[in-house]
Amino acid sequence: MKGGSPFVVGLTGGIGSGKSAVAERWGRLGAAIVDTDAIAHRLTAPGGDAIAPIIEAFGPEIITGEGALDRAAMRARAFADPSARELLESILHPLIRRVCEEEAGRAEAPYIVLVVPLLVESGAYRDRCRRICVVDCPEAVQIARVMRRSGLDETTVRSIMAAQASRAERLAVADDVIDNSRDLGFLLAQADALHQRYLLCADASGADPAQPAG
């Protein structure tokens, strides 16, 4: 987006909530999508910028034969040892933020969607957002979706969820909420309506970037 300060929407939700479907929809409608999960995957893919410091911190056994981060092994280690998770985050988070800034700086779109699973927990990302949108669904629906798509067992899914903000904590900071307790059409209708609102907010904020959007 050229000229002035870009209008940034923070998009978040728990694992399995459906935030990726919303981000994909907004991307197709013309928003610029900056997805921290996608960035993290690139950084930990073979040849990614995070691979060398991860090997230095955890040893080569945490890397697959193809040269990527062994996510299952890292997840097991992180849940067994909270300090391992903190160390991994200390490596990844600065790199992710740098790439986010680069991608946002290149964006030429009516507004930017910053997709951050841990948005609620991260003041650095929250402070960049003019609106925060939470994709929400009952926890039982979340668990069933994640188990179905990933093959993880319920205990593992609940452990992942426990490491994230609670449903109540996410809803407490939301400016906008998309209900994903029903079918895809219901989800996309809400996404489309919010897209139109964000276009208006972005257009209005362009005149005075320092003035918060209503």
Per-residue pLDDT, averaged over 151-168, amounts to 90
What percent of the chain is predicted at pLDDT more than 70?
A: 94
**Is the per-residue pLDDT at 160 higher than 50?**
yes
- 121-130, 134-143, 165-174, 184-193: which has the minimum mean pLDDT? 121-130
Beta bridge partners of 177: 134
Question: If residue 101 lies in a helix (H) or strand (E), which one and from where to where?
Answer: helix 82-106
Q: Could you check whether 1-31+109-209 and 37-108 share the same CATH topology?
A: yes
**Is the per-residue pLDDT at 33 higher than 90?**
yes
**Is the per-residue pLDDT at 3 higher than 50?**
no
Mean pLDDT of the chain: 91
Check the CA dihedral 162-167-169-170 and report its sign. Answer: positive
User: Has domain 1-31+109-209 been given CATH number 3.50.50.60?
Assistant: no
Structure tokens at 190: 């809400």
Residue spans per domain, the chain: 1-31+109-209, 37-108
Q: pLDDT tens, 106-146?
A: 999 999 999 999 898 877 788 899 999 999 999 999 999 99
3-state secondary structure of 200: helix
User: Has domain 37-108 been given CATH number 3.40.50.300?
Assistant: yes
Stronger pLDDT, 108 or 1, i.e. the higher one: 108
Tell me the CB-side half-sphere exposure of residue 159, using CA atoms within 13 A.
12
Identify the pLDDT of residue 145.
Answer: 93
3-state secondary structure of 178: strand
> In whole angstroms, what is the distance from residue 127 CA to residue 119 CA?
10
Checking 43-46 for CB contacts under 8 A at 24+ apart, the result is 43/92, 43/95, 43/96, 43/99, 44/68, 44/69, 44/71, 44/92
Identify the pLDDT of residue 214.
Answer: 34
Amino acid, single-letter form, for residue 89: E
**Is the per-residue pLDDT at 52 higher than 80?**
yes
Sequence-separated (6 or more) residues with CB below 8 Å from residue 126: 10, 119, 120, 132, 173
Instruction: Please say whether the beta carbons of 18 and 136 come within 8 A.
Output: no
**Is the per-residue pLDDT at 212 higher than 50?**
no
**Is the per-residue pLDDT at 84 higher than 70?**
yes
Sequence-separated (6 or more) residues with CB below 8 Å from residue 173: 120, 126, 132, 134
Identify the pLDDT of residue 163.
Answer: 83
3-state secondary structure of 179: strand
